[in-house]
Each structure stands twice: as structure tokens, then as C-alpha cells.
């Protein structure tokens, strides 16, 4: 009886949390978020708040940003940019479609910015998606969708330098874009490269481990040792950091493929601890390894 009541209470609470709490919690979280401005090089800056790192190029032509975090933060992001320049945001590049990089799209679109993304990212933002971690991302209104898309590469000339927007292959999703400021020698990698351990790979939306490893080598050959990398999440980095991260993925993939060849079940694969030394042995790591393991047949 007690057990039954407990479980009823728990499911009622869970339902309540699902219906009511997220918006409240999110609102409180975003109230507390501060936007930090970090100079990168020349006229390029990085903004950190909540969600993906924002790249900013300021200059005579206007303001170009890469990614725009969460909609409740648009005002704070705009204020941080206004402290750097009086020019409005002309272009918003989306490194990919995930909400923590694109949720301010509708606000910036309404304010007149042109949103730019890889073809598949626009397609995914047109309809509701379920991410590989189970998170549901609702479709955006037309005003929040990219007006300009590309397939594998295009070049802008903006604020005195060529700005290359490239897709180095499917990896994190099937619509990733990296934005390379040629003159400043600064690249924003989106979530193809992050600084939090095993990277989220969205297998539901075209992401895959092999693709990420290949794309990272393509990226490494695009840049040099003097390049400053703005990663999707985390601190400014170098080409060596990117190669270390790629090496981690290669080792973990090797362990997974060895288990697959041996015909191990998921539980047996997990027991071999394929990510030892790279990621803590917790539920998140187990989920990551399971999703990656299931990529191989
Ligand atoms: Zn992402």
C-alpha cells in the first residue's frame, strides 16, 4: 500500500514537473545567466552565456554572429553586442539546428537579420525533431528559418575578410557548418568540436561517430597552428586540442569496433569500459557508448 502510494505520488509529481516546472525553471535559469564577452582576435569575439558559444564579427559592414543561444537571452546577447558596436546584426549563421544554438533565431529574424545555415539544418528546423537524447525540438516559425542555405561551402566577404562557411561532412548532425574567418584566422566549429568530454552525437538527425572523426580531419587540414578555435561549447582552443579530441574519438571507436567484432552484447561492451581515461563511468557515458555502439553492425 505504501509502495503503491509512493509510486502514485512519484508519477503525479513527475507529470506535474513535466507540465509546469520546465518553463519556470528555465525562466529562473535564464534570469541568472550573464553574457561574458571574450576577445578572440582582431574584430572577432566570443560570447558565452547558456548554450553554444556565440562568435561575433564586428566592422564597417555590420555585425555577423554565429549561433544565438536561447530566446530568453536575446536581449542580453543584443546588449553584449551593442557594447562592441553600434551596427545591427546583419547575418546570423547557425552552426547546426540544435535549439541551444538557434533558439533566438525567431527574435533575430524578426529584427531583420538574415539567417544562414546548411541545407539540412534548415530542413530540420522546418519541422519538429526528436534528438538522439530524447529531447523534442519544436519547428520554428518562418521568421526563424534560414533565408540563405548552402550545401558544402560558400564564401562571404564581410568586415574586410573572406569568411568561409563549410560543411566538412556529417558528424554532430547532417547539417553542420563551420565558419572560418580567413584573415583573423579564427574558426567557429559548432558542436563538431566541444570541450566537455565525449561529444553529443545526434544519430537521430544524421550524426555519426565515423563522420565526426572524418570531419575533424577535414577541419584540421583547413586550419593551422596559429588558428584560434571557438568550439561549440567550452574555452578557446587550438588545432592541437582538436587533434587530441579526435584522437580520443579514434581510441574509443577502436574499442567499440573490437567489441562489435567479438560479438559482444551492449552490456558486455559496457563492461569493457571503452571510454576509460576519457569519460567518467556514469549513466551519460553508458548512453553515449550504447548509441555509438549501435551505429556499427
Ligand atoms: Zn548540438
**Residue 274 forms part of a structural domain:** no
Cell numbers found for residue 106: 525567431
Q: Total domain count for the chain?
A: 1
Please, which residues have CB within 8 angstroms of residue 93's CB and are 6 or more apart in sequence? 55, 64, 65, 66, 67, 115, 116, 117, 165, 177, 179, 188
Spacing, Cα 100 to ligand 1 middle (Å):
7
Q: Specify if 185 maps to a domain.
A: yes
* Phi, psi (rounded to 5 degrees) for 153: -165, 150
For residues 122 and 293, give the distance between their C-alpha atoms in angstroms, rounded to a whole number.
28
* Average pLDDT estimate for 16-33: 56
The reply to whether 213 falls in a domain is yes
Using the mean position of ligand 1's atoms as its centre, give its distance from the Cα of residue 99 in Å: 8
**What confidence tens digit (pLDDT) does each residue in 261-288 have?**
999 999 999 999 999 999 998 999 999 9
Instruction: Supply 128's cell numbers.
Output: 519538429
Domain at 134, CATH number: 3.60.15.10
Q: 188 C-alpha vs ligand 1 centroid, how far in Å?
A: 13
CA of 261 to the centre of ligand 1 (A): 30
Q: What is the pLDDT of residues 114-160, one digit of tens each?
A: 999 999 999 999 999 999 999 999 999 999 999 999 999 999 999 99
State the average pLDDT for the chain. 92
How much distance in Å is there from the Cα of 289 to the middle of ligand 1? 17
Domain that holds residue 212: 9-250
Ligand 1: centre distance to CA 190 (Å): 7
How far away, in angstroms, is 7 Cα from ligand 1 center?
35
For 41-56, what is the mean pLDDT?
98
Strand, helix or coil for residue 185: coil
Tell me the CA–centroid distance for residue 34 and ligand 1, in Å: 21
CA of 180 to the centre of ligand 1 (A): 18
Tell me, yes or no, whether 132 lies in a domain. Answer: yes
Residue 153 lies in a domain: yes
150: in domain: yes
Condensed to tens digits (0 to 9), the pLDDT of residues 74-110 reads 999 999 999 999 999 999 999 999 999 999 999 999 9
Query: What are the tens digits of pLDDT across the range 194-253?
Result: 999 999 999 999 999 999 999 999 999 999 999 999 999 999 999 999 999 999 999 999
Within a domain: residue 229? Answer: yes
Residue 294 lies in a domain: no
Residue with cell 553542420: 176
Amino acid at each position: 500500500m505504501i509502495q503503491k502510494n509512493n509510486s502514485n505520488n512519484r508519477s503525479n509529481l513527475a507529470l506535474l514537473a513535466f507540465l509546469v516546472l520546465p518553463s519556470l525553471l528555465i525562466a529562473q535559469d535564464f534570469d541568472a545567466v550573464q553574457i561574458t564577452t571574450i576577445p578572440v582576435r582582431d574584430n572577432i569575439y566570443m560570447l558565452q552565456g547558456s548554450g553554444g558559444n556565440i562568435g561575433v564579427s564586428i566592422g564597417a559592414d555590420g555585425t555577423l554572429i554565429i549561433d544565438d543561444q536561447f530566446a530568453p537571452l536575446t536581449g542580453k546577447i543584443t546588449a553584449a553586442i551593442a557594447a562592441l558596436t553600434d551596427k545591427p546584426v546583419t547575418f546570423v549563421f547557425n552552426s547546426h539546428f540544435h535549439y541551444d544554438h538557434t533558439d533566438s533565431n525567431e527574435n533575430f529574424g524578426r529584427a531583420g537579420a538574415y539567417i544562414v545555415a546548411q541545407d539540412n539544418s534548415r530542413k530540420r528546423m522546418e519541422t519538429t525533431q526528436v534528438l538522439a537524447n530524447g529531447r523534442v525540438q519544436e519547428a520554428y516559425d518562418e521568421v526563424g528559418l534560414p533565408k540563405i542555405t548552402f550545401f558544402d561551402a560558400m564564401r562571404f566577404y564581410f568586415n574586410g575578410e573572406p569568411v568561409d562557411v563549410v560543411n566538412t561532412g556529417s558528424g554532430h548532425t547532417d547539417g553542420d557548418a563551420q565558419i572560418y574567418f580567413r584573415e583573423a584566422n579564427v574558426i567557429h566549429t559548432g558542436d563538431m568540436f566541444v570541450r566537455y568530454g565525449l561529444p553529443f552525437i545526434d544519430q537521430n538527425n544524421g550524426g555519426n561517430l565515423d563522420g565526426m572523426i572524418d570531419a575533424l580531419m577535414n577541419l584540421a587540414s583547413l586550419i593551422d597552428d596559429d588558428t584560434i578555435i571557438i568550439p561549440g561549447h567550452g574555452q578557446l582552443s587550438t588545432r592541437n586540442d582538436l587533434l587530441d579530441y579526435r584522437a580520443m574519438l579514434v581510441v574509443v571507436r577502436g574499442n567499440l569496433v573490437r567489441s562489435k567484432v567479438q560479438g559482444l552484447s551492449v552490456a558486455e561492451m559496457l563492461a569493457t569500459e571503452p571510454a576509460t581515461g576519457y569519460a567518467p563511468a556514469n549513466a551519460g557515458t553508458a548512453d553515449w557508448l550504447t548509441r555509438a555502439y549501435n551505429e556499427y553492425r
